[in-house]
Structure 1
Amino acid sequence: MNRKCRRWQKGTELVEFAFTSIFLFMLLFGIIEFSIVLYDKATITNASREGARTGILFRQGTRTIGGLTSEDDAIEAAVRDYADAYLISLGGPATLDVQIQRTDRNGDGAFNAGDELTVSAIYPYDFLLLPAFANSMIGGVRNIAATSVMRAE
């Protein structure tokens, strides 16, 4: 090639990289964000399991279905402690909605062995990388939810 053609081609690699790097970085950030969502989903699932395990343990005395507020507090604390320890949220402690429900399988009004405990945890996930762009594309905050059902011991 002669010198004139080479001079006109100077900087073409930079322009090509500028165009393709936008898509490359969007793909990279998308992979990272999706990985964080999957990790947080697994964490919320494990947190609801920890809460259910806390609630099904054997305790002495009669456990009436309607009067277990101290156990509900312990279950909710177990879920929140696990979530606070392992969730990836850059905005401080995680805000969770924890719902607890007991099913009396034998109908005696007490929470006995064999009765079911359902613990649900709902976590409003806000995108970490490029949040304004992701929220405008997807339409706001998405909830990550998990439910665990266990039988009392």
Structure 2
Amino acid sequence: MRWKGKSNILHFLRHTRGAVAVEFAIICTLFVLLLGGVFDFGHAWYMKQVITNASREGARYGVTYKSNSVGARIAPNAFSPSITTYITTNYLGSAALPSDANPNVTLGGAGLTTGTKGTGLEVTVTATKTWFLISGLIPGLGNQKTLTAKTVMLCE
């Protein structure tokens, strides 16, 4: 009896040529979606780091001891430039945030108006992250996410 293994393999290979294209299309689609998700979440992480750094730098700027010509302490809400302007100009403006991020700086705490040593100054920075690809794939995620960074430091 003759072995028909070779002819069976050739017959199989002749009739499975289109399967490779279908498999490639499925794998390529999944890979592109995975890569898009990595970029989208990476961008969200970048934005979070930018606003975290901005809130820290704003708090540092606000808690340092500044005095007028007489030597009296200046309260952080009377600084020139203001803490909000300082953060927006030096950190958020040059951070390449998207135009729809709308960063917002909020100041608070007892140290904002008094500037007394040991009182806390609170700087909160928020920005809006718009999902590019992920929002359509993950139900319940929504089209936008508000990122918030809050820093509290004691006045010097």
Deviations 1:71-105 (A, max 9, x none): 3862112222302222442x37x41121101315x
Q: Which residue of 1 aligns with 2:57?
A: 50
Aligned to 2:87: 79
Please tell me whether residue 125 in structure 1 is matched to residue 134 in structure 2: no
Identity of counterpart residues, as a percentage? 25
Q: What are the ranges of 5 or more consecutive residues in structure 1 without an aligned counterpart?
A: none
1:17 alignment partner AA: F
Note if contact 2:51-2:149 (Cα within 8 Å) is conserved in structure 1: yes
Which segments of 5 or more consecutive residues in structure 2 lack a partner in the other structure? 1-5
C-alpha distance in 1 between matches for 2:96 and 2:126: 13
TM-score by length of 1: 0.77
Please list the CA deviations of residues 3-56 of structure 1 after superposition, one character each: whole Å capped at 9, or x if unmatched: 654432223211111122221111111112111111211111000011111111
Amino acid at match of 1:95: N
Change over 3 Å in CA distance of 1:7–1:135 after alignment to 2: closer
Q: CA deviation at 1:147?
A: 0.4
Q: CA deviation at 1:133?
A: 2.6
In structure 1, the residue matched to 2:148 is: 145
Which is greater in Rg?
A: 2
Q: TM-score, normalised by structure 2?
A: 0.76
Q: Which aligned pairs between 1:11-22 and structure 2 lie closer than 5 A?
A: 11-22=18-29
Q: Where do 4+ consecutive residues of structure 1 move more than 3 Å?
A: 1-7, 62-65, 134-137
Cα RMSD between the aligned structures? 2.7
